Structure 1
Amino acid sequence: MIVWLNGPFGGGKTTTAAELDALLPEAVVFDPEHMGLPLVPTLSGIEPVSDFQDWRPWRELVVAALTSLDRYTGRTIVAPQTVVVEQYWDEITSGLAAAGVTLRTFTLDCTPDEHERRIAGDTVTNSTIAEIKIDDDGVGWRRHRAADYRAALPWLTARTEVIDTTSLQPAEVAKEVAARAGLTA
């Protein structure tokens, strides 16, 4: 089973994934974002983009990697990755469905004020973002993309299970995701 954690950029997905990894001994974390980094030197000169998700090969590689990991490990795979373009979400989720992979999708939402607080206090550095957007370790990127996330929230709400994380600690969010996904510690 793949447990996909969507939500705002810098909203706590990676932190929640680490908590799930600690909570569920059979789980492993695979960050789809890391599929973008190897594409940068190959595709940036062919098709410059502001987000590696715009490259179709990234979406195809994510599906292939998650499918392979699901089959190889037989474990729950936690995938923390924001996807705010509905077409890209459709490509990934339909690709996983076609491969017969069980997918549980969650959107870890929080208020805009809480999101800003998390961005400002974030100590997690994102190497892929830093490679594509040379800024302040992704802080500007996360703030810039907040509006994209808010615009995507209506379709995310219709197609994923939304968990309001505004007042929850990461361990509490992980327990809620695990409970909703039917996973036990």
Structure 2
Amino acid sequence: MTVIWINGTFGAGKTTTAGKLVELLEGARLFDPEHVGYLLKVNLSDQQFTDFQQLPPWRALVPAVIDEIIRFTGQHVIAPQTVLVESYWRELEAGLRSRGHDVVHVVLDADADTLHTRIDADPEGTAIRPWRHQHVAPYLAARPWLTTTANLTINTATTPADEVTTQIHTHLTKSIVLPGSV
């Protein structure tokens, strides 16, 4: 099975794209790796960390949980999650591949102005806007390795959401056999 990891920072369009992709891809399901972080945050509250991705258990558990979901459902998994530390990404990817899964790393890219505008426009994220804004600069710093490791990079500042999903779907149908695409 294949794991489609949708990377990019806040405002790049990960959640929107993942939702549209799940609707478009027969035999695919959405998995939010952040939920593993929530589990660890509660259970490791006595540990010092500012982001659950810093925790080695998060980087070990995410591939294990995705693997179990794939084994249980027999479905491809779409995982929208920002990962800006290259060594963390390498660890996640290796964990997925070691369990026999193909990994398609999609990076949704946008310039800083677009990202800041989208963050400010999100009506559900008002309480965490400052935190999201603070992640734009680290994203821009990580952009070189992200785009180098990506199987597909799409500029979401100039590409409409439906076209982003279409481009990913086209890439997937060329690189893997998806149900309904044969």
- TM-score, reference length from structure 1: 0.88
- The yes-or-no answer on 1:26 pairing with 2:27 is yes
Q: Which structure 1 residue ranges, 4+ long, deviate > 6 Å from structure 2?
A: none
Q: Distance in 2 between matches of 1:10 and 1:33?
A: 16
The within-5 A match list for 1:70-81 is 70-81=70-81
Matched AA of 1:91: E
SS in 2 for 1:166: coil
Aligned partners of 1:4, 1:124: CA distance in 2, in Å? 23
Superposition map of 1:116-131 within 5 A: 116-125=116-125
Q: Distance in 2 between the 1:19 and 1:140 partners?
A: 27
Query: Please, which moves more after superposition, 89-98 or 175-184?
Result: 175-184
> How far does residue 20 in structure 1 lie from its aligned partner after superposition?
0.6
**Distance of 1:153 and 1:25 partners within structure 2:** 31
Q: Distance in 1 between matches of 2:71 and 2:77?
A: 11
Q: Determine the structure 1 residue equivalent to 2:42.
A: 41
Superposed counterparts of 1:20-169, under 5 Å: 20-45=21-46, 47-125=47-125, 136-160=126-150, 161-169=152-160
SS state at 2:127 partner: coil
Distance 2:128 2:28 in 1: 27
Indicate conservation of the 8 Å contact 1:2/1:70, yes or no.
Answer: no
1:177 aligns with 2:168: yes
Does the CA contact (< 8 Å) of 1:11 and 1:119 recur in 2? Answer: no
- Residue identity matched to 1:100: G
1:15 is aligned with what amino acid? T
Q: TM-score, normalised by structure 2?
A: 0.89
Cα distance in 1 for partners of 2:78, 2:127 equals 23
Alpha-carbon RMSD across the aligned residues, in angstroms, is 1.6
Give the gaps of 5 or more residues in structure 1: 126-135
Matched residues, number = 174
Unaligned runs of 5+ in 2: none
Q: Please state how far the C-alpha of 1:176 moved relative to its aligned partner.
A: 1.0
Which amino acid in the other structure matches residue 142 of structure 2? A
1:7-26 pair list within 5 angstroms: 7-26=8-27
Change (3 A) 1:124 1:106: farther
| CA positional deviation for 1:69 | 1.4
Greater alpha carbon shift after TM alignment, 53-62 vs 166-175: 166-175
Q: Compute the displacement of 1:124 (Å).
A: 4.5
